[in-house]
């Protein structure tokens, strides 16, 4: 489906207050790396080349460089509503107009963001390696828009761009619907200074199959179980053979569900690489001698790369995917991260 990108919303139109300080990260250019970091990267590259089956677990930190704030970040408000309180089945049942306007604003913000180099690097890794799987906790659709092969991409928390019918008797579900706004009435969700206006239920998205049920965003709300099909597919991938390497990107390897997958890979004898702006102490990589750390990985179990995942991941995966550049738009200009 062709994506029609809406005009970039201003800060007040986004679903959160973007009042966090600018993200500053360590340089990952090879010429500026310390000797220990370069040795760690060389060791990781050696192990990466030998790996046959890889699992990537992706969190919100992957999309931070694309301009999307984390869901639970500082100032998580939309028009003075607590964003977490809007992400529940009860909120949708009580006021579908309010919840749909919140999610319409989130869809607009995600569409105005662009996939970054890490999204494209993971997509290329999937194309190069049949036994590679990405399990994303993000709902922003950026991995899909980076042309990540869909059969190697699992959405643990659903997607802003999936829709499903709320009627008990209807099984309609649609994925990758990038239309914005979904109905003309929802255009007000992206208006900068317009006061909140209630939208009649008849003007909200309705099911095209049963013609009566109200559509809802295809995300996992608080209080709902994770999608069984996705959890089962991830379990099947891990159970079907040794996973040599798990990439923990933009999230912590010590918090569930990530910790559960990390533990299972380690129990199989696999190794862990963490890419995140903040590295937990328990995620820290192995203490190795100078000789061991210059390229050998035999005694390593963990690598940690602290900084912007959008910068680190392409460098880390370069031996397999090659040098990653952002695609150019139709005018020949480099796509910008908005």
Q: What is the mean pLDDT of each run of 10 residues along the chain (338 residues)?
A: 38 33 39 84 95 96 86 62 92 97 93 96 98 97 98 97 97 97 91 79 97 97 95 97 97 78 95 89 52 61 94 97 82 39
Please report the pLDDT score of residue 217 as a whole number. Answer: 98
pLDDT at position 281 is 61
Which residues are identified as catalytic? Answer: 157
The pTM of this model reads: 0.85
DSSP letter string over 38-77? Answer: HHHHHHHHHHHHH-S-EEEEE-GGGTGGGTPPPTTSTT-E
Q: How far apart are the first and last CA of the chain?
A: 22
What is the SS3 assignment for 105-162? HHHHHHHHCCCCHHHHHHHHHHHHCCCEEEEECCCCCHHHHCCCCHHHEEECCEEEEE
Q: Which CATH architecture has domain 33-68+115-157+225-325?
A: 3-Layer(aba) Sandwich (3.40)
Q: Specify which residues 153 forms β-bridges with.
A: 134
pLDDT value, residue 329: 61
Domain parsing of the chain, residue ranges: 33-68+115-157+225-325, 70-112+161-219
Domain 70-112+161-219 belongs to what architecture?
A: 2-Layer Sandwich (3.30)
């Amino acid at each position: 489906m062709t994506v029609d990108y809406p005009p970039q919303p201003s800060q007040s139109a986004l679903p959160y207050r973007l009042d966090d300080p600018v993200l500053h990260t360590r340089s990952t250019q090879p010429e500026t790396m310390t000797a220990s970091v370069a040795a760690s990267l060389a060791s990781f590259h050696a192990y990466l080349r030998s790996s046959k089956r890889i699992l990537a677990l992706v969190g919100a930190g992957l999309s931070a460089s694309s301009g999307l704030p984390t869901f639970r970040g500082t100032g998580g408000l939309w028009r003075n509503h607590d964003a977490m309180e809007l992400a529940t089945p009860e909120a949708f049942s009580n006021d579908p107009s309010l919840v749909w306007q919140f999610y319409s604003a989130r869809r607009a913000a995600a569409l105005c963001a662009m996939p970054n180099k890490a999204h494209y690097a993971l997509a290329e890794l999937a194309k190069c390696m049949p036994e590679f799987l990405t399990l994303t906790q993000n709902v922003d659709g950026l991995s899909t828009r980076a042309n990540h092969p869909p059969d190697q991409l699992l959405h643990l928390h659903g997607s802003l761009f999936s829709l499903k019918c709320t009627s008990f008797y209807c099984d309609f579900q649609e994925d990758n619907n990038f239309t914005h706004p979904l109905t003309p009435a929802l255009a007000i969700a992206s208006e900068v200074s317009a006061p909140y206006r209630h939208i009649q239920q008849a003007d909200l998205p309705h099911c095209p199959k049963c013609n009566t049920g109200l559509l809802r965003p295809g995300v996992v709300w608080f209080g709902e179980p994770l999608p069984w099909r996705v959890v089962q597919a991830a379990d099947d991938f891990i159970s079907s053979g040794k996973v040599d390497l798990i990439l923990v990107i933009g999230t912590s390897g010590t918090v569930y569900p990530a910790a559960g997958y990390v533990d299972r890979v380690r129990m199989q004898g696999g190794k862990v690489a963490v890419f995140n702006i903040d590295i937990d102490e328990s995620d820290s990589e192995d203490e190795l001698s100078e000789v061991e750390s210059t390229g050998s990985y035999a005694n390593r179990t963990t690598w940690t790369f602290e900084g912007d995942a959008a910068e680190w991941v392409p460098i880390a995966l370069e031996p397999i995917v090659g040098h990653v550049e952002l695609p150019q738009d139709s005018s020949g200009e480099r796509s910008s991260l908005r």
